[in-house]
Homo-oligomer: A and B are copies of this chain.
């Protein structure tokens, strides 16, 4: 892969997570579907927050977690996403920069909506249920994309969640064009099965036309290709993108290249799964870190699995130890 000042430019929602353990009954009472992400407005966010238990605030956001993971491997990531001029915005920017991620987007001026927050409810089975108030993050638009940064990054990585931010789509499509014109690769994650359902036609077109490297878990890829069998999905994606990375939780991951053999890599053993938040984000971090450094697809998938295993062994969606020590 061509040399560039930055390994991966990650673009996504800039979110602070509020983690709290909760019971299965709590999910039922509030009509929440375990394992998925739902968008909520300010009023619903306040109501849910009032009902839930004491929380822990940690910076999150899918693509931002991926950026932090790449930095933890010793890579050089950058991030684009929008925070407000408020305390959670300060927390988000600090955590990202101090993790080693280049983050130059100025906070939105006072009077804008608040920094996005996501209430992450973790049930005793370590599954997480996400409830996101997008706030100012939903205002990400074309003027926020630094095209020099796109040109200067070996890979442009975009989260599907951004399709829920109305002004972001045009900005992202433009960024993908700029990346391709500069000979860069474009990577994309489907993010969430409900997100795929909301934007299925657009995602299908986008993935086929503009994406080189696709990340999806089993449910998401089935939602995209409209099938139920994993093997059929594997067949389908082979002709859509250059590389498809399909993650299957404890069954590891399957990497489908447009040409060449499908690669199946087992999951890394985990002593105790505490919180699955960030598993997909960190898989992408490991995979892309390896890819930019010219590793084999099998090795990229192994690095993805290592990073995912670390992040699900504790609460929170970013690494707590340097991933560079693991690989």
For the residues of A in contact with B, the DSSP-based class is: mixed
- The 0/1 profile, CB within 8 Å of B marked 1, for residues 41-53 of chain A is 0000000011011
Tell yes or no: A86 within 8 A of B by CB: yes
Tell which of B54, B88, B320 touches A87, judged by Cβ atoms closer than 8 Å. B88
Give the residues from 63 to 92 in chain A that come closer than 8 angstroms, CB to CB, to chain B.
68, 86-88, 91
Contacts of A98 in B (CB 8 A): 50, 52-54
The number of chain A residues touching the other chain, given as a range, is 20 to 34
- The 0/1 profile, CB within 8 Å of B marked 1, for residues 88-111 of chain A is 100100111011000000000000
Cα distance A270–B56 in the bound complex, in angstroms: 23
Tell yes or no: A316 within 8 A of B by CB: yes
- The 0/1 profile, CB within 8 Å of B marked 1, for residues 20-62 of chain A is 0100000000000000000000000000011011111111000
Tell which of B87, B91, B95, B99 touches A114, judged by Cβ atoms closer than 8 Å. B87
CB pair B114–A54 under 8 Å, yes or no, is no
On whether A99 and B56 interact (CB within 8 A), knowing A86-B87, A87-B114, the answer reads no
* A residues lining the B interface (CB < 8 Å): 21, 49-50, 52-59, 68, 86-88, 91, 94-96, 98-99, 114-115, 316, 318, 320
Cα distance A91–B88 in the bound complex, in angstroms: 11
Chain B: CB-nearest residue to A316: B56
Tell which of B49, B52, B56, B99 touches A57, judged by Cβ atoms closer than 8 Å. B56
CB pair A99–B54 under 8 Å, yes or no, is yes
CB distance from A286 to the nearest CB of B (A): 18
Given contacts A21-B320, A55-B95, A57-B58, 15 further A-B contacts (CB under 8 A): A49-B94, A50-B98, A53-B98, A53-B99, A54-B68, A54-B94, A54-B95, A54-B98, A55-B91, A55-B94, A56-B57, A56-B58, A57-B91, A87-B114, A87-B115
Chain B: CB-nearest residue to A95: B54
CB pair A56–B55 under 8 Å, yes or no, is no
Contacts of A54 in B (CB 8 A): 59, 68, 94-96, 98-99, 318
Please name 10 pairs of A and B residues whose Cβ atoms are closer than 8 Å in the assembled complex, sorted by A: A50-B94, A50-B98, A52-B98, A53-B99, A54-B96, A54-B318, A56-B56, A86-B87, A87-B87, A87-B114
Smallest CB-CB A-B distances: 9 pairs: A57-B57, A54-B95, A87-B87, A53-B98, A54-B99, A56-B58, A54-B98, A87-B88, A86-B87
Chain B: CB-nearest residue to A51: B98
Most chain-B Cβ atoms within 10 A of its Cβ — which of A21, A59, A98?
A: A98
Most chain-B Cβ atoms within 10 A of its Cβ — which of A54, A68, A98, A320?
A: A54
Cα distance A52–B99 in the bound complex, in angstroms: 10
